[in-house]
Amino acid sequence: MQNNLILRLSNGLGNQLFMYASAFAIAKQLNRNLLIDNETAFESRNNIRKYELKHFNISSRIAPDNFKFKNFNGYLYRKILKRIDQFKKNKSFLIEKKNERKVSHYSDDFLNFSLSKNVYMEGHFETESYFKDYKNDIANEFSFDNNIINTKNDIFQQISNSNSVCLCIRQGRYNDQEKYKNVSSKINKSWTFTLEQINYSLKCVENLKKKLNNPKFFLWSNDFSNLDKYFPQKEFTFVKNSKDMGYIYDLYLMTLAKHYVVVPTSFNWWGAWLSQNRKNAFILRPCDSLFSEFFLNNNDFWPSNWVKIK
């Protein structure tokens, strides 16, 4: 029987896309069958996240229950196995390494490990360095389910039929969890990050106006509060889809844009990376120094061919 790589998915959609793309490529390199644990990390009652890859035409199968660490007993069993794994010659866990600041980077150490028949993969793996040699395969894996595609939507037509530029502002970065919603320090930190994204985005808009013929700017956000003060709706179209269409459709619409101003969020990153126009697109991304307190969780987060704005 074929050896398995079992991916423990977690977090939101953008993170899940990174995890799956990296696991897909690593499984190919290790000649392993990729299975997806779509439950273990989402079991908590307080976890608002859920398995999202069902909206794509991925080829990997869901792992059977005997490859999942479900409920409290499974949680304890996993902890014990991970501790024992430190002393084993043939490793059963492929875990992304992080430094003391919880920052990671691309590593091909997995190619040198002696591995067990079944290996569990955990981590965020937020860099295309893991899967850049499989770009076409990943694009096929992340093609959208037919239920997501709605070509009759007015915004779809506007984005498709113009020299469209995708903008994205992430609000509430540090106070979106319930326990931080009313914490003033978190609120202030979030607003600082929002303002820094706005300043960077407006700088990019001026840059693209000089390079593009009649650009049309489309803005996505998880919260549009106060954004009309900075992005007047005479010039910027706010992409507000009904809740029943959801953010999967938002991601799909992003991929239709001709050009991109990317902020440091995994959701926005994937909108640009999956662009149907990526071979001809201007894709701008920020220099890390533009943000006073925010830092990326992976030193190799940005693709090398995206244009850095200082």
Residues 67-87 have a mean pLDDT of 94
Residues 21-36 have a mean pLDDT of 97
What crossing angle do the helices spanning 246-254 and 266-273 adopt, rounded to 10°? 50
CB–CB of 121/8 below 8 Å? yes
Residue 147 within a domain: no
Q: Half-sphere exposure of 138 toward its Cβ, with a 13 Å CA cutoff?
A: 24
Check whether residue 134 and residue 16 sit in a common domain: yes
Check whether residue 224 and residue 277 sit in a common domain: yes
Residues 189-206 have a mean pLDDT of 95
Check whether residue 98 and residue 215 sit in a common domain: no
Per-residue pLDDT reduced to its tens digit, 209-220: 999 999 999 999
Check whether residue 228 and residue 296 sit in a common domain: yes
Residue 184 within a domain: yes
Range of the domain at 239: 154-309
How far, in Å, CA of 137 to CA of 302, rounded?
20
* pLDDT, greater one: 269 or 172: 269
DSSP secondary structure letters along 206-217? HHHHHHSSSEEE
Domain boundary among 83, 116, 141: 141
Q: Domain containing 203 — which CATH number? A: 3.40.50
Check whether residue 232 and residue 286 sit in a common domain: yes
Global pTM? 0.94
CB–CB of 307/281 below 8 Å? no
Tokens of 16: 């899940």
Residue-level pLDDT at 262: 98
Q: Is the pLDDT of residue 45 over 70?
A: no
Closest CA to 142 of 278, 301, 304: 278
> How many domains, the chain?
2
How far, in Å, CA of 32 to CA of 261, rounded?
37
Residue 148 within a domain: no
Residue-level pLDDT at 244: 58
Domain boundary among 117, 141, 165: 141
Residue 80, C-beta contacts closer than 8 angstroms, at least 6 positions apart = none
Q: Is the pLDDT of residue 264 over 80?
A: yes
Check whether residue 126 and residue 169 sit in a common domain: no
Residues 291-308 have a mean pLDDT of 93
Per-residue pLDDT reduced to its tens digit, 145-190: 988 888 888 899 999 999 999 999 999 988 877 667 767 888 889 8
Residues 130-143 have a mean pLDDT of 96
Give alpha helix (H) positions in 65-147: 71-85, 135-141
Residue-level pLDDT at 46: 64
* pLDDT, greater one: 28 or 100: 28
Check whether residue 54 and residue 173 sit in a common domain: no
Check whether residue 232 and residue 184 sit in a common domain: yes
Per-residue pLDDT reduced to its tens digit, 35-44: 999 999 988 6
Q: Which residues pair with 217 in a beta bridge?
A: 165, 236
Residue 110 within a domain: yes
What crossing angle do the helices spanning 13-29 and 266-273 adopt, rounded to 10°? 60
Residue 75 within a domain: yes
Residue 43 within a domain: yes
Residue 146 within a domain: no
Per-residue pLDDT reduced to its tens digit, 225-257: 999 999 998 999 999 875 656 789 999 999 999
How far, in Å, CA of 5 to CA of 28, rounded?
10
Other CB atoms within a 10 A radius of the CB of residue 39 amount to 19
Residue 273 within a domain: yes
Check whether residue 134 and residue 169 sit in a common domain: no
How far, in Å, CA of 27 to CA of 19, rounded?
12
Residue 152, C-beta contacts closer than 8 angstroms, at least 6 positions apart = none
Check whether residue 71 and residue 208 sit in a common domain: no
Residue 18: DSSP 8-state:
H
Residue-level pLDDT at 261: 98
Q: What percent of the chain has pLDDT over 90?
A: 78
Cα 21 from chain centre: 10
How far, in Å, CA of 273 to CA of 19, rounded?
15
Give the pLDDT band of residue 2 (cuts 50, 70, 90): confident
Position 198: which residue type? I
Other CB atoms within a 10 A radius of the CB of residue 81 amount to 14
In order of 27, 71, 91, 305, 306, the CA distances from 302 in angstroms are 23, 36, 30, 8, 7
Q: Is the pLDDT of residue 26 over 90?
A: yes
Check whether residue 159 and residue 16 sit in a common domain: no
CB–CB of 40/79 below 8 Å? no
How far, in Å, CA of 284 to CA of 203, rounded?
11
Check whether residue 181 and residue 256 sit in a common domain: yes
- Average pLDDT score, the chain: 92
Domain boundary among 106, 141, 176: 141
